[in-house]
Amino acid sequence: MTVLGRGSNALVHDDGVPGLTLRLGGELAELNLIGADRAWVGAGLGLTVLINRLDKLGLAGAEPFAGVPGTVGGAVVMNAGTTLGEAKDLVEAVEFVLPGGELRQVPAEALRFAYRHAELPEGAILTRALLRLITEGVEARITQRKALLERRKAASPSICPLVGLPSPTHPETSPGG
């Protein structure tokens, strides 16, 4: 089985993908607030959608995902981020389903986050992440996020959408900020 988020980092052969392809949606693409500063977020929720919903709620915390294509699930699994931080900075816990159907929740520490990596059990499919959100200083964080996006746009003007990274980026002009 292949789990496909939004396909933003996927390049598929003309023959397709062998086996079943899964795209998370419905309840697995929702944001559910837990108190004032935490939320269970479905792995299928797009990162831009997450940021926009938090803006409307007057919350922050997902700034590390600014300009990153894809979903919450993909961002957690690869510890996605920018100069504003990484997934590990806001993930408190995750929920996943094992190949046998068992649903588990584990704290973020169990994922052993590293650069662009998180450890999940073999064959596990991430379903949700519990995120720590920020209720104070939201406007300043929005300003930081907008500045990051402007820097990225100036460093890598896009003529057409690309799949993944076609070539290494020079560190001084990295579109990640």
* Domains held by the chain: number: 1
Q: Is residue 2 in some structural domain?
A: no
Please report the pLDDT score of residue 165 as a whole number: 52
Catalytic residue (choose from 38, 116, 145, 151):
116
The 3-class secondary structure across 39-91, one letter per residue, is: EEEECCCEHHHHHHHHHHHCCECCHHHCCCCCEHHHHHHCCCEECCEEHHHCE
Q: Is residue 43 in some structural domain?
A: yes
Closest listed residue to residue 69, CA positions, set 9, 146, 153, 129? 9
C-beta of residue 71 within 8 angstroms of C-beta of residue 47: yes
The range of the structural domain enclosing residue 28 comes to 23-154
Is residue 116 annotated as a catalytic residue, yes or no?
A: yes
Please report the pLDDT score of residue 38 as a whole number: 98
Please report the pLDDT score of residue 8 as a whole number: 67
Closest listed residue to residue 128, CA positions, set 136, 140, 120? 120
Q: Is residue 11 in some structural domain?
A: no
Q: Is residue 173 in some structural domain?
A: no
Q: Is residue 161 in some structural domain?
A: no
C-beta of residue 61 within 8 angstroms of C-beta of residue 50: no
Q: Tell which phi-psi region holds residue 32, choosing left (phi > 0), alpha (psi between -120 and 50) or beta.
A: beta
Q: Is residue 8 in some structural domain?
A: no
pLDDT (tens digit, 0 to 9) for every residue of the chain, 177 residues total? 888 777 766 788 888 888 888 889 999 999 999 999 999 999 999 999 999 999 899 999 898 898 888 999 999 999 999 888 999 999 999 999 999 999 999 999 999 999 999 999 999 999 999 999 988 888 888 888 888 888 888 887 666 665 555 545 545 444 554
Please report the pLDDT score of residue 174 as a whole number: 47
Supply the CATH number for residue 38's domain.
3.30.465.10
DSSP 8-state class, residue 18: S
